[in-house]
Amino acid sequence: MRGDIAIKHLANAVTTTRFLFAGGMVLAAPFSAAFWTCYLCGGISDLLDGALARRLNTQSVAGAMLDSAADLVFTAAIAVFTVRYLPFRIWLWIGAAFIAALRLTCYAIGFVRYKTFSALHTYANKATGALIFTFPVMDAALGLTAAGVILCAAALLSSLEELAITISAPTLNRDRRSIF
């Protein structure tokens, strides 16, 4: 019986570690081994939690909400790190602030319409999450400005898609893959 309970909550436990790794990233010295460990482990937890939930057949609305909240906190930790340590040009910061405001507006509309946190698991949101995670590699390969433009473009498109879905969908479906 005890093992069944542990298996039932395994995916959510993996998701919960992302909150800890996000905090670790913010507290760690920039670009230190501790920072990169938290960064990589947070990304791995994001890849594993959904796969575990599907494999163990333990998907739930609460788990999807927990996953979205963990993604939001992890992304916020990356944003805090970026603000503190990477010298973006002001126009890129303005674009990122606009996208963040758009995303928060979408969540507010979703909360008013559906009476709950309404982040969606669209393909565009997943692609944007992957780009956020690979940002250090893009920075190294393309430079900070090019990497920032690519990330902002993807984030803007995914935010606009989520806003369109949130405004037009008669019911909340967090697993809606696309507007198309």
Residue by residue, DSSP assigns the chain as -HHHHHHHTHHHHHHHHHHHHHHHHHHSPTTSHHHHHHHHHHHHHHHHHHHHHHHTT---HHHHHHHHHHHHHHHHHHHHHHHHH----HHHHHHHHHHHHHHHHHHHHHHHHHSS------HHHHHHHHHHHTHHHHHHHH-HHHHHHHHHHHHHHHHHHHHHHHHH-SS--TT-----
Q: Report if residue 71 sits inside a domain.
A: no
142 and 175 share one domain: yes
- Residue 115 lies in domain: 86-180
Q: Report if residue 16 sits inside a domain.
A: yes
127 and 62 share one domain: no
98 and 178 share one domain: yes
49 and 91 share one domain: no
172 and 114 share one domain: yes
Q: Report if residue 53 sits inside a domain.
A: yes
Q: Report if residue 74 sits inside a domain.
A: no
C-alpha–C-alpha distance, residues 31 and 85, integer Å: 10
Per-residue pLDDT of the chain (180 residues; tens, 9 = 90+): 566 777 788 999 999 999 999 999 999 998 899 999 999 999 999 989 989 999 999 999 899 889 989 999 998 998 888 888 888 788 888 998 999 999 999 999 999 999 998 989 899 998 998 898 888 889 889 998 999 999 999 999 999 999 999 999 999 998 899 998
Domain count within the chain = 2
C-alpha–C-alpha distance, residues 151 and 95, integer Å: 11
62 and 94 share one domain: no
94 and 177 share one domain: yes
**What is this structure's pTM?**
0.76
| 92 to 27, 62, 76, 154, 164: CA distances (angstroms) | 25, 35, 17, 13, 24
